[in-house]
Every structure is written in C-alpha cells, then in structure tokens.
Structure 1
Amino acid sequence: MLAVRGLRKSFGGRTVLDGFDLRVEPGEFVALLGPNGSGKSTALRCVVGLETPDGGEIDVSGNAAMVFQKIHLVGRRTALDNVCSGALGRLPLRRSLFCPHDVRDEAMRCLDRVGLADRALDRCARLSGGQQQRVAIARALCQRASVILADEPVSALDPQAAVQVMELLVDLAGEGMTVVAVLHQPELARNYAHRIVEMVAQ
C-alpha cells in the first residue's frame, strides 16, 4: 500500500507539489496524468527518496522500486547481471562483490516472470527498448518491491512494446502489487489503469 498525504515540494522558489494526496491499495494500478511541470515525476521521486519533500507524509508498505523512462541498464552486461543488481541493497558487502547462486536463481525467476528467461545471457545493449524496459521491471522484482513506480515507462517505446509493458504492469497489480505509472498517453491510461489521477501545474 502507498499513502501520500499533504506532499509539498519546491525548486528554487517554484512550487511543484502543494498538498498532494494519493492512496493506492495493493492490487491497484493507478495512472498519473497531467501536463509537464505538474509534479507527476517529482511525486514518485519523493516516494523512493530521490527527492526530499519539503513537507507531508509518505507511507509505503514494504519496498518501493522505480522504473524510469531512461531505462538505466548497463548495456555491456547481461540481462541476468542487470537483474541481479536489484538485490545489492540487501546483500552484505562481501556478498555484493559477486552474484551468489541464490540471487542468480531469484533473478532468473524474475526474468521468467517478465517473459525474458531465454534472453538472460544476452547483453542488454542487444535487446530492444521494450525488452530492456521489461528487464528493468524484473530488476525491480528482484528488489522484492511491493510498490512499483513507473515514470513514463512506455514513452520511448513503439506501440507493440508499449502494450507488452502495460500488460505486464497490469498483471503485477493483479498479483497484489501496488503500481503507479506516470503516463502521457490518456488512451493507455484508460485502457489499462484501474484509476486515473489527473494533476495540474501549480
């Protein structure tokens, strides 16, 4: 579950978020729509700690992981290696220097969940944009996230790849995860999200 109450954030005297509230339950997929500058991405970044809010409260049940528009994979490493990196935060330093067998097994299950087990040993640079985004989602699953925040996850993808990623996010919500996605495509929000939250620029 994700609960945001009274979230406030300003940059250089410009208010981006002013009392933003949002509650998303387990199993729910919420789409955030709104113009540039309305604070959609900033709200997600505050939830995962990439930005420090000026005020308000954020409650997350379990772990939150973020999937970005710019996918942030290491292109020269394999899909499996990239997914394994999702476990680094919970490994002791001595184990984080290499990928233990149990983590590799878990990462393979995550890749299988996103339909890419057969591409596990391919370098990410050789994967399509849609495949790379699914690897990024698998990495979030390897973080054992219960909340997935997706910031424009399909804006750089072709229509077929976008549908695959959206269907995957819907399926993850159906398995009990909390999913919030920033979208700029109202038709995708209407077709896939359980609920749409429209934000306005301050």
Structure 2
Amino acid sequence: MLAATGLTVHYGPREVLRGVDVSVEPGELLAVLGANGSGKSTMLRAVAGLVPATGSVTVDGTAPGPLDIALVFQRIHLVGRRSVLDNVCAGALGRLPLHRSLTPALFPRAVREEAMACLDRVGLADRAHDRAGALSGGQQQRASIARALCQRAPVVLADEPVSALDPAAAERVLALLGELAHAERLAVLAVLHQPELAREHADRVVGLRDGAVVLDGAPDQPVDFLYPHAQLENAS
C-alpha cells in the first residue's frame, strides 16, 4: 500500500536521511525504531511530504493525494473547547465543500454519524459530546486516531504516538493501532521509542541508524544495537 524509495533529506549540509527504502502492506503495523537522531521522525515527515526530500513515495502505486495519508502525532492536536465528536468530524474536512467546513455546526448528518462510528471503533462513543480537553491523554490520542479513521485514508502515519502516555495508556493505543491495521486493512507506520511495545504489537520492525535502514524483519529480533546504552535504558 505504502512504498517509499530512496528517501534522502538534507538539513543544510548535513545528510540526515540516506536513501531510505520502506514499505507497508495493507493490514500491517510497521514499527520504526532507532535512537534519538537516527532519522526515524524525519523519515515519517518525508513520507508525509512535510519536509523536502528526494526519492519517491507512492500509495497503492501512485503519488499520494491529500486524503491518502492520515497523521497521528505525539503532540495531540485536538481543539480542547470543542466536543470530541466535532474534532473527529474534522477528519472529513478534505472531502467536504468549503461552506460545509466553516463551522462544526455545518457538518452533514452523514459525517457526524460516520464520526460516531469511528468513536465507537476506538471505545469513546460515550464521550462524544464531552469537551475534548476533558479527556485523559490516552483518550485524546484515541480520539485523534478516530479522526484519522474519519479521513478514510488507507495509510496512517503515527509519530511517537505514545511517548507522552503512561504505560497502560500506551499499551491500549498501540493495541488499537494494530487492531485497526488488521481489521480495516490499513497500512500503519508508527515511529516508536519503546522496543518492547514494538515486540508486542508490531507485525514488522524497521530499524534506523545514522539515517539509514539497518534492520527490517520480525519484531522479535534483537534491536539493542540500535541504541546507545543510556538511550536503551530510557526506551525500555
């Protein structure tokens, strides 16, 4: 579903991503691991088109359109004063006419019903009419995943989506991403800083070191060599 080939990124004279190839199949949760500064978040942003890069990115064999890739970030971008339902409906903005997107009150009934179904999918239907700011961190991240589902994108990119969560919430969010990848046939790429979560929930692991792919395979293979000792202690 998602294929990136030869991705190279420079920040000034420094090459931070060096010809990276990565692919994700429909129904697969791919975890990208690496130490701080290894290039893993830069890779995700290059795939999403958020940083200038050379190389190619395709979704289902063609250049990605504006609705093909949904993003979930470490920093949860919900509008706290709006309802959870309004925030999830915002995932559909790219396929609504302009006059319908000016205020949440104009979201069509069909979109609101779809957003409710997405909230039910992530276990938050009972919080639909609460203010988004009243949710816990883990609940907010699940709401952001529901918003990504409402976008109907076949590819979901998650940049360290659990690094700000407590261990129990992190487990729930990673389990949800894996479940959605399998059940909805989504291609999910998640940048993680916790090897143990990748071992438990990912279908495949890619490891980056110094801006290059040095590992690609089963989630239970050794990954300690990706991390300096101090970083591995923090990541585990």
Q: Structure 1-normalised TM-score?
A: 0.96
In 1, distance between residues paired with 2:10 and 2:95? 32
Taking the aligned partners of 2:147 and 2:22, their CA distance within structure 1 comes to: 25
The one-letter amino acid of 1:56's match is G
Identity of aligned residues (%): 64
SS of equivalent residue, structure 1 residue 104? helix
Q: Which residue of 2 aligns with 1:35?
A: 35
Q: Where does residue 59 of structure 1 map in the other structure?
A: 58
1:68-91 per-residue CA deviation (whole Å, 9 max, x = no partner) reads 000111111111010011111111
Distance in 2 (alpha carbons) for counterparts of 1:151 and 1:36: 13
Alignment deviations for residues 46-81 of structure 1 (CA, whole Å, 9 cap, x no partner): 22222221x101001371111000011111111101
Moved more, 89-98 or 26-35: 89-98
Q: Distance in 2 between matches of 1:107 and 1:48?
A: 23
The separation in 2 between residues aligned to 1:190 and 1:43, in whole angstroms, is 21
Counterpart in the other structure of 2:153: 145
Q: Deviations over 1:15-72 (max 9, x none)?
A: 111100001110111100001121111111122222221x101001371111000011
> RMSD across aligned C-alpha pairs, in angstroms?
1.0
Listed one character per residue, the Cα deviations across residues 111-133 of structure 1 (whole Å, up to 9, x for unaligned) are 01100000000111110000000
Question: Please, which runs of 5 or more residues in structure 2 have no aligned partner?
Answer: 212-236
Task: Give 4+ residue runs of structure 1 displaced > 4 Å after superposition.
Answer: none
Tell me whether 1:99 sits opposite 2:107 in the alignment.
yes
Q: Which residue, out of 66, 75, 78, partners 1:70?
A: 75
Q: How does 1:1-202 map to 2 (within 5 A)?
A: 1-53=1-53, 55-61=54-60, 63-97=68-102, 98-175=106-183, 176-202=185-211
Q: Secondary structure at the match of 1:157?
A: coil
SS at match of 1:167: helix
Secondary structure of 1:199's partner?
Answer: strand
For the residues of structure 1 that align with 2:180 and 2:121, how far apart are their CA atoms?
10
How many residue pairs get matched?
201
Amino acid of the residue matched to residue 31 of structure 1? A
Give, in whole Å, the separation in 2 of the partners of 1:46 and 1:103. 30
Structure index of larger Rg = 2
SS in 1 for 2:46: helix
- 1:76 and 1:47 mapped to 2: Cα distance? 31
Aligned residues of 1:80 and 1:104 also touching (Cα < 8 A): yes
- Given the two structures, how large is their TM-score scaled by the length of structure 2? 0.83
Q: Secondary structure at the match of 1:10?
A: strand
The answer to whether the 8 A contact 1:36-1:201 is kept is no
Aligned equivalents of 1:52, 1:143: Cα separation in 2? 24
2:111 and 2:52 map into 1 onto residues whose CA distance is 31
Q: What CA distance in whole angstroms lies between the structure 1 residues aligned with 2:36 and 2:94?
A: 32
Please tell me whether the aligned partners of residues 155 and 184 of structure 1 are also in contact (alpha carbons under 8 angstroms): yes
